[in-house]
Structure 1
Amino acid sequence: MPDILLIEDEPIIARNIGIALGRAGHRVTHAASATEARRVLAAGLASGTHPDLVIADISLGDGDGIEVLSAHGPQLRDCPVIIMSGQDSTANRLRAEGISVAAFLAKPFAMARLCELAAALLAESLPEQQRKPGPSVMMYSHDTIGLGHMRRNSAIAEELVARVPGLSVLMLVGCPAGMMFAPRPGIDYIKLPSLAKLGRDRWQSGSLRIDAETARALRAGILERVAETFKPDVFLVDHEPTGVWNELVAPLRRLRESCGTRTILGLRDILDDPDRTCGRWAETGTDKVISTLYDDVLIYGNADFYPSSRAYGLDRLRPDGVQYCGAVTTVRARRSARREKGPRRVLVSGGGGRDAFLLLATALEAQALLPRRQRPDLQLIAGPLMDTELRERLHLRAAELDVTFHDQVSDMPARLAASDLFVTMGGYNSVTEALAIGVPALVVPRVGPSSEQRIRADRLRHLGLAEVIERPDLTPQSLAPHLSGAATRQPVVSARLPLDFDGAARAASHIAACLGVLTADRPAPLRQVSHG
């Protein structure tokens, strides 16, 4: 167990640091003053020992932390030092550099950041033969139109780093906007060249002005080099078993044969029309890739909502390796049945926004049709992938109608919980969040190229979980009664849902078990929250 000397005169700060480092598996000795720090270091010198890491504040009341450490420089020559200070000045940083400080932290700082830094410095200070790399997971999401694949992987990654000490998760993302979510210790990403989907199984370069063959070579080269260098213990692939243009086949084969990597395919519950999907898999050899290059298949859904394993022949391709995890979402709270008085609140969003213009534009014109006394408090969210020209057109029209318009938001669950109606397309993440929170939803499924959203909308309508307007029937006249509340329905009742929403936790538990980490499933129960 590493020994850490903490030199800090503020009792509350010292206590919090000691608890955080103790939970991380370190033994902490606390010196509450410059005098006490000198005594501890002198005792170590006399016995021929020194701490494995020193964390010291500069201002100690009875002295200066840097001066204390300078006096014991030879004793601490091979000991990494972290200096903390509430006075982040050039002078203090230069003084810290003078004693070869490994890191300088300005107060306040996150305890998670300090623990990550301490772990990294302790690992670096070990002799090379004693250094053991932590477990590693690589994730792939090819996102082109939306953010769904990356969002699922991100939710699972966050669960993983919270329960597997020392884990590194490297995400390979194709989203044109790059990684759209807050960074977390232990998680990083590599951006693949963006693609645009022209139709089913047809792609071209999305941003670079290069031909498809060059884009393919670029992506394949990055993937193969990253896999060869990172050598993950587990490789989780979302949605595309062979990747775009079969770019994953070679890395999958090499990782399994050379590195012993456990390969896992993660699939949302509804992919496309089952006959079409099975036929395409057979024609392209994807079915053989699933049966020979993957160890497990995780379905991010529930068999009672959609029988994915049977519909897509997965029970035949992987008879012992298919698991239903439940829906993957970061939502952990349900909408309260109580509602503050006020105007009806309607939220309209098309997910990433790449093809959401028609839905949002129709919502604005539906609002214009309503008498002012019937108009709801309407909020529109464009999404990060909507083209700038289209977003600006919506901005102008929203301003004319006194409608709140957002380019994108970071608090979507809270906005859903505060809404009386959520109008959305039929994407996996948008629908799952609405169901998890319990907000009434009106779904307008995408027409194509995939049948995924249409099938999901049919299931929702059949089970009474949402209302549906088919895209050809979407007009301001058909949407207006829903905005005003003339066409109303009761909020979703949790007992009726043939879904659970703990897919991220269960997928993370499965991956942790593959890494040899014993961890119990700990899906958090949904708790009531008030809104407004």
Structure 2
Amino acid sequence: MTRILLSEDEPVLARNIMRSLEGCAMHVTHAASARETETALRVGRFDLVLADVSLGDGDGIEVISAAGSRLGKTPVVVMTGQDSLYNRGRAESVPVAAFLAKPFALSRLRELVTALTTENGGPGTRTMRGPSVVMYSHDTIGLGHMRRNSSIARELVALVPGLSVLMLVGCPSGMIFEPHPGIDYVKLPSLTKLGRGAFQSGALRLDAATLRQMRSRIIDGVFEAFRPDLLLVDHEPGGVLDELLPVLEKRRRRERPCTILGLRDILDDPERVRDAWTANGTAQVIANSYDRVMIYGNEGFYPSATAYGLEAMLPGRVNYSGIVTTPGRARTRPAGKSPRAILVSGGGGRDAYPLIDTALSALATIPRRNRPAMTVVTGPLMDEELRIAASARAARLGVVCLDSVPDLASLLHAADLLITMTGYNSINEALAQGCPIITVPRLGPSAEQRIRAETLAARGLARHLCRETLTPESLARMMMAPPPVARTEGLSFDGARRAAALLALHLTRTRSRYEEEVTHAPTH
């Protein structure tokens, strides 16, 4: 267990730091004064020292300096509420590993302590670093795969002390969500989906084969350097253009990492998926290269395991996690009234302009005295020319127009109605918030959105318009009609937490096997 000396004379701060670090399986010795710090350094051995500058009866930097040779190479972090060039200069002369100005976030302190206590010990030593996970999301049109992985990653780093999650993302905008301790990403060169199974380079003027080779080599380099204990792949079992197959083959030979396939509940027409998976070898990849399949949905909503033949590929190793959404509390909305606040969301935005343009036209057909307030989120992937056009038109109608938002749930909480396409994330965030939905499914290239819209409508969870019948007039009539109350009983919306719990279980098992290998491996 990592041994920490905390030299801090403020009782409340000391208690909070101790609780925070002890929650990460660290043993903390608290010294509340300069004298106690001197005594602790004289009789104890520590892996890291956290020292306040002002200790009431002395100066923390002077105490650390006097300890000299007893500290050896033990890293020291100086903390102070008196941040100045003078104190920073004194701290550097000791020297110290880091300087923290108060107030600081405890999460930042935990990350710093973890980093300083898990560095390699030098040639010939074997040090165990924290557990590691790679999450793969190829995203060529929207943001759904990356958004799901991001939600699960946040739950997972909160659940597993010292965990590092590295996300491999293909989204053209990179990792658009807010940074989080323990989570980072590698941006793969972008691909654009032309049709079912057809891709081209998204920005670089390269052919798809060259780009696939580049992406595959980046992925292989990440695995060689990062050596993850667990791989979570979203949606594409072999990766887009089969770019994951080399690392999956290495995994089969080396027995590491644990591999889990995460799938949204509805993929495409079931018969088409089963036939394609059999023909292109994907079914064999799932059966031979994955330890488990995790379905981000509820079996009562859509029977994915049987519809797509997953249970036959991995008998007894298919789980439903429930729907992956952002945690939040649903708002109580009055029944039988027309909406006064409408949110129009384009998801990623790549193909959302026709829906947004029609929604703005629908609003214009409603007399001003009856018009509801409207907010439009175009999505970060909308072409700039179209985004500018949508923004200008929205301004003329008094509509708030945003490019993207980090927290869609907060906008849904304030809205009386959501108008969107039928992507997994937007729809399920609205259901979790209890926000009524009008959905217009994407025409292709897969049937996923059409099947989702029909399933939602059949269960009374959303109203939908086909793209062929979408007009400003038809949408305006539906917009102004009092929405029915969606009945979400039987649907679980804590999929991120439940998925993280399952990953943590497999991570612990894989990590235990690896630690045993390292412990018994010969040193040279």
TM-score normalised by length of structure 2: 0.92
Q: 1:209 to 1:435 in 2, by over 3 A?
A: same
Q: 1:289 aligns with which of 275, 282, 285?
A: 285
Hey, what does 2:119 align to over in structure 1? 124
Q: How big is the shift at 1:265?
A: 1.1
Q: 1:34 to 1:8 in 2, by over 3 A?
A: same
CA distance in 2, matches of 1:424, 1:155: 21
> SS where residue 217 of structure 2 aligns?
helix
Hey, what does 2:50 align to over in structure 1? 55
> SS where residue 82 of structure 2 aligns?
coil
Q: How big is the shift at 1:397?
A: 0.8
Check conservation: 1:8, 1:32, Cα contact below 8 A. Answer: yes
Hey, what does 2:196 align to over in structure 1? 200
Hey, what does 2:356 align to over in structure 1? 360
> SS where residue 508 of structure 2 aligns?
coil
Check conservation: 1:79, 1:125, Cα contact below 8 A. Answer: no
- Aligned pairs for 1:465-504 (under 5 A) are 465-483=461-479, 485=480, 487-495=481-489, 498-504=490-496
Q: How big is the shift at 1:493?
A: 3.1
Check conservation: 1:300, 1:328, Cα contact below 8 A. Answer: yes
1:401 corresponds to 2:397: yes
Q: How big is the shift at 1:481?
A: 2.3
Hey, what does 1:528 align to over in structure 2? none
Check conservation: 1:331, 1:437, Cα contact below 8 A. Answer: no
- Aligned pairs for 1:328-407 (under 5 A) are 328-337=324-333, 344-407=340-403
Deviations for 1:15-56, whole angstroms, at most 9, x for unmatched residues?
A: 211221222233323333334433x25xx42x4x34332111
Q: How big is the shift at 1:379?
A: 0.5
> SS where residue 134 of structure 2 aligns?
strand
Q: How big is the shift at 1:407?
A: 1.2
> SS where residue 353 of structure 1 aligns?
coil
Residue 83 of structure 1 aligns to which amino acid in structure 2?
Answer: V
Check conservation: 2:338, 2:483, Cα contact below 8 A. Answer: no
Q: 1:343 to 1:430 in 2, by over 3 A?
A: closer
1:511 corresponds to 2:503: yes
Q: How big is the shift at 1:93?
A: 2.2
1:3 corresponds to 2:3: yes
Residue 179 of structure 1 aligns to which amino acid in structure 2?
Answer: M
Q: 1:2 to 1:313 in 2, by over 3 A?
A: closer
Check conservation: 2:327, 2:494, Cα contact below 8 A. Answer: no
CA distance in 1, matches of 2:310, 2:120: 48
Hey, what does 1:141 align to over in structure 2? 137
Residue 374 of structure 1 aligns to which amino acid in structure 2?
Answer: N
Deviations for 1:267-306, whole angstroms, at most 9, x for unmatched residues?
A: 1111111122112112211111111111211111112111
> SS where residue 352 of structure 1 aligns?
coil
> SS where residue 386 of structure 2 aligns?
helix
Deviations for 1:456-488, whole angstroms, at most 9, x for unmatched residues?
A: 0000011111000111111111111233x2x22
Check conservation: 2:156, 2:504, Cα contact below 8 A. Answer: yes
CA distance in 1, matches of 2:57, 2:211: 63
1:258 corresponds to 2:274: no
CA distance in 1, matches of 2:99, 2:160: 27
Cα-Cα RMSD: 2.1
Q: How big is the shift at 1:381?
A: 0.6
Q: How big is the shift at 1:191?
A: 0.8
Q: 1:253 to 1:125 in 2, by over 3 A?
A: closer
Q: How big is the shift at 1:130?
A: 5.3
CA distance in 2, matches of 1:125, 1:141: 30
Check conservation: 2:25, 2:161, Cα contact below 8 A. Answer: no
Percent of pairs with identical residues: 56
- Aligned pairs for 1:61-76 (under 5 A) are 61-76=56-71
Residue 494 of structure 1 aligns to which amino acid in structure 2?
Answer: T
CA distance in 2, matches of 1:125, 1:288: 39
Deviations for 1:337-382, whole angstroms, at most 9, x for unmatched residues?
A: 469x998010000111111111111111111111111100100011
- Aligned pairs for 1:128-207 (under 5 A) are 129=125, 131-207=127-203
Q: 2:306 aligns with which of 297, 306, 310?
A: 310
Residue 489 of structure 1 aligns to which amino acid in structure 2?
Answer: P
Hey, what does 1:430 align to over in structure 2? 426
Aligned pair count reads 508
> SS where residue 72 of structure 1 aligns?
helix
Check conservation: 1:446, 1:454, Cα contact below 8 A. Answer: yes
> SS where residue 131 of structure 1 aligns?
coil
Q: How big is the shift at 1:173?
A: 0.7
Check conservation: 2:171, 2:190, Cα contact below 8 A. Answer: yes
CA distance in 1, matches of 2:162, 2:509: 11
> SS where residue 285 of structure 2 aligns?
helix
CA distance in 2, matches of 1:123, 1:242: 33
Residue 102 of structure 2 aligns to which amino acid in structure 1?
Answer: K
1:244 corresponds to 2:240: yes
CA distance in 2, matches of 1:216, 1:259: 25
- Aligned pairs for 1:268-279 (under 5 A) are 268-279=264-275
1:457 corresponds to 2:449: no
Unpaired runs of 5+ residues, structure 1, are 519-532
Q: How big is the shift at 1:425?
A: 0.5
Check conservation: 1:331, 1:433, Cα contact below 8 A. Answer: no
CA distance in 1, matches of 2:384, 2:83: 40
Q: How big is the shift at 1:412?
A: 1.3
Check conservation: 1:195, 1:204, Cα contact below 8 A. Answer: yes
CA distance in 1, matches of 2:333, 2:397: 30
Deviations for 1:301-359, whole angstroms, at most 9, x for unmatched residues?
A: 112111112211112222222111111112332223469x9980100001111111111
Residue 495 of structure 2 aligns to which amino acid in structure 1?
Answer: G
Q: How big is the shift at 1:503?
A: 1.6
